[in-house]
Structure 1
Amino acid sequence: MAEIAAAALATEQVVSTAAQATAAYTVARPTNGLKAAFSQIATAGADGTRASLVRSHHSLTVVDKRAYIFGGRTSSNNKLADNEMHSLALPTQDPADKSDYRLIPALSVLERDESVPAARSDHSACASNGRVAIFAGADEAGALIQDATIWLFDVETSVWHALRAELSASVPPPPAQGGQAGNDFVVYGGKDEGDVPLEDVWRFDYASKTWTRLPDAPAVTSNAAFADHTLYLIAGNDDLSSSLHYLDLGQSSTAAEGPSAAAWETVVFPTNPLAPGPRPRENGGLLHVSTGYGRNYLLYFFGERSTSSLAPTDDSASSKPTQWSDMWTLQLPSSDVANKATTTLSDAVKPAKIKDAIRAAFGASGKHTWAEVEVKPPGDVAGHSGKLHPGPRGFFGYDVIEKGSSVVLWGGVDAKGETEGDGWIIQLE
């Protein structure tokens, strides 16, 4: 009997250990290995006019299943595009929806020419309360636009509204081009009149019409994204490492706390051949995306090789690619349990939050880890016509679509220095 009992105990220990090992393996598997499917939605030809959609240095903003393209420079001698709004319906799962295109002239709610935004490039743009918000930028000559007005395009009425700050109560951000704008209307960075990169961060309060300066960023970069009231920056240090900087904007949401309540945090990650991670780049795409179930990522894609990696003293610089065509995801903290009415179990439970808690218990948290996105080939390669992939490019317009699992991009400059005029949907899974 003693031998049988001992054998039973040994068997139980083996089964228990195996179960723990299986559980540890299951939760330790990477959760950020995504796949991407590309589909070209439209192309435009260079017609030589300022209304051409063959352009770069423009903005693309998604509002209610439509992409709104504004500003930039066209392929015709790098001319400044006009101040008309281009609206493109995005493909949806509803067969009744048909893709269409609209060219909307600049009209003011006050019916005065001076109450519409001037043509510009390298401006900041974002969706704000169901409208397209435009701020700052550069004019035809490349000079910075001095007007500190926030221009709001109403997608329902197709007219512009001018939102001006109460200058007696606050100081607006200095003129800049190439800055980034995001939710809660926060603007970051860009370059000043002397082409010097800026590191300042500003928030506009709609109720009081005042600007507040938040803590300056610890780095200057064109790679900025906004997610869940957090500003994320990715800056390339060198060919062997880069840094993720993030600022919790919710910590400085009240006037009583002030901007000092917020503080930047930094995570350094390797980018060498022995460790997975994206190479330093600028003027590409950085977006907050989600594949559902509470799982969140930063999608870091395309762009130009960082100028620090193309130093003239580097003998191998001429053999290096000038742009990137790869895509990477950085896993962010998963969403909390939703504190709102919902009709789906996945929205209420947030399985990713539960899985991450289990992973953390096993010491296998995937937070702030990189994974390269795998590109899926089209289903029918033989019957496919046209390009299969946008190819390397920078200075394009882009935004996330609907629930965050797909991205739309338009135009840009390719590796040959030529301006593009095509639109793409990137579906992530």
Structure 2
Amino acid sequence: MAEIAAGAVVAEQVVSTTIEGGAVAGYAIAKKTLPLKATFTRIAVSDLIRRHSHTISVVKGKAYIFGGFTPDGTLAGNEFHQLTLSSKEKTDYKCIPALPEDDASSVPPPRAGHSASVFGKNIIIYGGLDEAGNSVEDGSKLWSFDTDTLKWTLRTSQGPKDCQFYHGSIVHGNNLLLYGGYSRPAGTNDLRSLPSLSSVDVTTGVWQAYEDQALSPVGTPAGLAFSQDKVFTVGIDSKFQAPVHYYDLQAATTDARWDTIPVPSNPLVPGPDTSRDGAGVITISTGQGRKYLLYLFGQKHGDGQPTSFPPKSQELFSDAWTFQLPSTNTSLASAKDAARLKLGMDSGEDSWAEVELKLHKEEFAHEGKVHPGPRSFFAASNFDDTSVILWGGLNPKQEVEGDGWIIKME
């Protein structure tokens, strides 16, 4: 309550200043928070790393690409591809072979459809499928790659019998949260959908299943994002625009459940209106407490369970959308939202808007690719608070791409 009261006081002060003739403050309040603009910058590196269903992680300004399928349909190796993004003109590249931390340890087998999450200086790899389309290993194995020593450690846990693939993961504190995807034991056709949220403590290996796990379907993979102690994912079960589901990790046990932010029943309200697989879901910030979900690209979701992985589709998308999340308490963004509400204006919270493309000035001077184009099952991760790095994926011809992009939001 104190935070709300503080926000109201700030809002009152801002409104008063505006009424008294503060043109700058008035403009700041009147300026809408949506839509955002995006600048796409192609990374200056060759396309030798052609992948889909792989991952990319950023640690201390370096990007690490792991796993996935290659253009001939085979699994990529278990090496890491490291990119040091020092400038637009120069990108340093290094291939890091898989080496164990000590002689008694091992290294992860090749895989695709896995997840990669940054935990301090380490990258935690979990799950994935093998070349036969089955769970690559049992669910107790967490692989930790140390970006300082460039070596692997196996962290065992109390995990399920078979690992997930095409799932979503994020790190919250010491916990790796996992949601969705599938599992299939080797040598069987027993494909199991996993519509549940669970977590594993990376330091102790202890698993936890969250209560009230019933949730309507989400895409493949099940993208997860995180903001203010809430886990977010984007659903595929609306005729008008994609629903946003969230799980409050701080809620009391009796109140802990998946909730859905209401979707407008008006088809004219903007929003991604086609169910998607192979899309990206990432939390971004534009500063001062303002946060969004970035939902980009992907392909049309098929009916029923997939018959192959990744699911195939002839309809791919090149659009990107942002969903405005609640502003951080006591931030400038929350003060602005309170002021707009006091003036009877929409704050933009819980609203979708399509991202607008902003071109580099130099792009007008010469021909060049200014946008990745339609693609799905690419790898994407936060590069910093306002930027996303994207690599590879499938294009509409089902060809495997090998280029990288930095997407700067403003």
Indicate whether the TM-score tops 0.5.
Answer: yes
| d(CA) in 2 for partners of 1:239, 1:199 | 21
Determine helix, strand or coil for the equivalent of 1:100.
Answer: strand
Q: 1:43 to 1:415 in 2, by over 3 A?
A: farther
Residue in structure 2 matched with residue 180 of structure 1 by the alignment: 168
Residue in structure 1 matched with residue 124 of structure 2 by the alignment: 133
1:201 equivalent to 2:197? Answer yes
Determine helix, strand or coil for the equivalent of 1:240.
Answer: coil
Residue in structure 2 matched with residue 391 of structure 1 by the alignment: 373
Determine helix, strand or coil for the equivalent of 1:357.
Answer: helix
Residue in structure 1 matched with residue 209 of structure 2 by the alignment: 213
Shifted more, 361-370 versus 277-286: the winner is 361-370
| d(CA) in 2 for partners of 1:271, 1:411 | 35
**Number of paired residues?**
369
Residue among 59, 81, 89 paired with 2:84:
89
Root mean square deviation, CA, Å: 2.7
C-alpha contact 2:216 2:237 (8 A) present in aligned 1: no
Q: 1:25 to 1:105 in 2, by over 3 A?
A: closer
1:323 equivalent to 2:316? Answer yes
Deviations 1:172-221 (A, max 9, x none): 47422101110221011111224443211111123432000113151232
Residue in structure 2 matched with residue 281 of structure 1 by the alignment: 276
Q: Per-residue deviation at 1:269? A: 2.1
Q: 1:90 to 1:26 in 2, by over 3 A?
A: closer
Residue in structure 2 matched with residue 246 of structure 1 by the alignment: 246
Q: 1:251 to 1:116 in 2, by over 3 A?
A: farther
Residue in structure 2 matched with residue 160 of structure 1 by the alignment: 152
1:336 equivalent to 2:329? Answer yes
Kindly provide the amino acid, as one letter, of the partner of residue 220 in structure 1. P
Residue in structure 2 matched with residue 422 of structure 1 by the alignment: 403
Residue among 146, 150, 154 paired with 2:137:
146
Q: Per-residue deviation at 1:265? A: 1.5
Q: 1:207 to 1:134 in 2, by over 3 A?
A: closer
| d(CA) in 1 for partners of 2:247, 2:130 | 31
Q: 1:142 to 1:225 in 2, by over 3 A?
A: same
Give unpaired runs (5+ residues) of structure 1.
1-15, 46-51, 310-319, 338-349
Q: 1:296 to 1:84 in 2, by over 3 A?
A: same
Determine helix, strand or coil for the equivalent of 1:394.
Answer: coil
Q: Tell me the TM-score normalized by structure 2.
A: 0.83
Q: 1:121 to 1:358 in 2, by over 3 A?
A: same
Determine helix, strand or coil for the equivalent of 1:183.
Answer: strand
Determine helix, strand or coil for the equivalent of 2:182.
Answer: coil
Q: Per-residue deviation at 1:275? A: 1.2
- 1:367-406 equivalences under 5 Å are 367-402=349-384, 404-406=385-387
Deviations 1:358-396 (A, max 9, x none): 223334332111111110122123433531110010000
| d(CA) in 2 for partners of 1:237, 1:206 | 33
Q: 1:418 to 1:207 in 2, by over 3 A?
A: closer
Determine helix, strand or coil for the equivalent of 2:164.
Answer: coil
C-alpha contact 1:242 1:270 (8 A) present in aligned 2: no
Residue in structure 2 matched with residue 407 of structure 1 by the alignment: 388
Q: Tell me the TM-score normalized by structure 1.
A: 0.79
Kindly provide the amino acid, as one letter, of the partner of residue 400 in structure 1. N
Q: 1:90 to 1:261 in 2, by over 3 A?
A: farther
Kindly provide the amino acid, as one letter, of the partner of residue 73 in structure 2. N
Residue in structure 1 matched with residue 307 of structure 2 by the alignment: none
Kindly provide the amino acid, as one letter, of the partner of residue 325 in structure 1. S
Instruction: Using the aligned pairs only, state the percent identity.
Output: 38
Q: Which runs of 4+ in 1 moved over 6 A?
A: 20-26
| d(CA) in 1 for partners of 2:202, 2:51 | 32
| d(CA) in 2 for partners of 1:82, 1:272 | 48
Give unpaired runs (5+ residues) of structure 2.
1-15, 185-189, 305-312
C-alpha contact 1:34 1:428 (8 A) present in aligned 2: yes
C-alpha contact 1:66 1:87 (8 A) present in aligned 2: yes
Determine helix, strand or coil for the equivalent of 1:380.
Answer: helix
Determine helix, strand or coil for the equivalent of 1:242.
Answer: coil
Deviations 1:50-69 (A, max 9, x none): xx510100011111111110
Residue in structure 2 matched with residue 56 of structure 1 by the alignment: 52
Residue in structure 1 matched with residue 70 of structure 2 by the alignment: 74
| d(CA) in 2 for partners of 1:332, 1:91 | 31
Q: 1:294 to 1:376 in 2, by over 3 A?
A: same
* Greater C-alpha Rg: 1
Residue in structure 1 matched with residue 11 of structure 2 by the alignment: none
1:121 equivalent to 2:112? Answer yes
Q: 1:226 to 1:217 in 2, by over 3 A?
A: farther
Q: Per-residue deviation at 1:272? A: 6.5
Shifted more, 204-213 versus 60-69: the winner is 204-213
Shifted more, 294-303 versus 211-220: the winner is 211-220
Q: 1:371 to 1:416 in 2, by over 3 A?
A: same
Determine helix, strand or coil for the equivalent of 1:152.
Answer: strand
C-alpha contact 1:302 1:323 (8 A) present in aligned 2: yes
Q: Per-residue deviation at 1:321? A: 6.8
Residue in structure 2 matched with residue 4 of structure 1 by the alignment: none
C-alpha contact 1:197 1:220 (8 A) present in aligned 2: no
Deviations 1:267-314 (A, max 9, x none): 1324875111112322111100001111100001101112259xxxxx
